[in-house]
Amino acid sequence: MTRSAAAKATQAADAVLDWLSRQPPPVFSARRGPPDSAPTQPEAGATDAPPGADAAGPPAEPAAADQGVDPAVAILPSARSDSCDASGTNNPGAPLRLAHTDWLHHRLVVVGRPAALAAFQAAAAGAGVIPWHLDLDRLEEDCFHLLAAPPAPQQRSLSLAGARIVAGQLRDAVARRHELAVSRVGHSRACPFDLHELVPVPGEILRRGPDDPASRAWLWAHWGTTQELHHVTAETAVAGQARRRQCVAGAGEMRMSFWSADWSPWRALAQIAARWPALRFDLRPSYDAP
């Protein structure tokens, strides 16, 4: 397949996934990057800890050069968008995942001495992908039924045979993209802050797939957010932001920005801070981010 044909196929698959993700009732949704507009604050639902984390530790000097971020983002079916509590059961009063993902922009600063900071950089870098097992048969059937019998007031524009063909093509496109993304896990270091590298999702949870209530419950309980981070980018300090390094000679910092789904990854950061006591972690949502 030529690059032009591949690009057109990807665009077509993305367009269909986007349309399917907006059909009520939601059967699956396309995982997308953050919206163009500024995100809003998530609705209240977790009151036992703040959305950010700040673990004290001695500061240090600048670490190694920032790592680039691979722009490729896999299109994966995400969990159904019904509300669940931490046990995975339906509970509208304790939403685990919002019906429409609210992408929150964050900035994270990690401060530490050179050796500890460099070790953390090496441990935190990864592919930025959760290597889920996908139920492609179910995905294809969900797509077929939505195409063959779209919810009112939409009208079916495909024959049943055509709906089956498109559903199969969409399944193949998702499978190819997912296979490419998962193949990078354990090899790519493009994402400078990969939660799956720092707080790995267990194999038995990965086998359940992203739709399973137990998977959502595990992510909420251990990460505090129910999807992998998106658009993780290493940043450099600007004038006036290096004051924290002046507290101790040889102090340095690592700066990153990213988007998280619905909530800050405060549960993951609490575990990370406990495992790296020589570092200071300062996570702040930036609601005015573009």
The per-residue pLDDT for 152 is 85
| Whole-angstrom distance, CA of residue 177 vs CA of residue 144 | 20
The per-residue pLDDT for 155 is 86
DSSP annotation of 201 reads P
Looking at per-residue pLDDT, the higher value among 176 and 84 belongs to: 176
Query: pLDDT tens-digit profile of 91-108?
Result: 433 456 677 788 999 999
Mean pLDDT of 259-277: 95
Looking at per-residue pLDDT, the higher value among 9 and 141 belongs to: 141
Q: Is residue 21 scored above 80 in pLDDT? A: no
The pLDDT-based confidence of 5 (bands split at 50, 70, 90) is low
| Whole-angstrom distance, CA of residue 96 vs CA of residue 274 | 25
Looking at per-residue pLDDT, the higher value among 251 and 12 belongs to: 251
Closest of 268, 183, 258, 213 to residue 33, by C-alpha: 258
